[in-house]
Amino acid sequence: VDPALKVLEERQDEILKRLYELKATVDGLAKTVTTPDADLDATTLSCAPTESVFRGTANLDSLLGK
């Protein structure tokens, strides 16, 4: 087996592992968002607009830890 191919396969495995971890995180967040919270007091929530957490673009390599 070509060493370059082996390196690419290992990198692919690492990326897929990270993607599955991210998917699990997103699925958990989605469940949290869609599950009513009995302890949430809506009377204390502000109606003022909030700044977006996502500003600009993210570098995919840095997100994947490359």
CA distance 21 to 40: 28
Structure tokens at 30: 């989605």
Q: Is 18 exposed, middle or buried (0-12, 13-18, 19+ CB in 10 A)?
A: middle
Model pTM score: 0.46
Q: For the segment 20-54, what is each residue's pLDDT rounded down to a tens digit?
A: 999 999 988 888 777 766 556 666 666 665 555 55
19: pLDDT strictly greater than 90:
yes
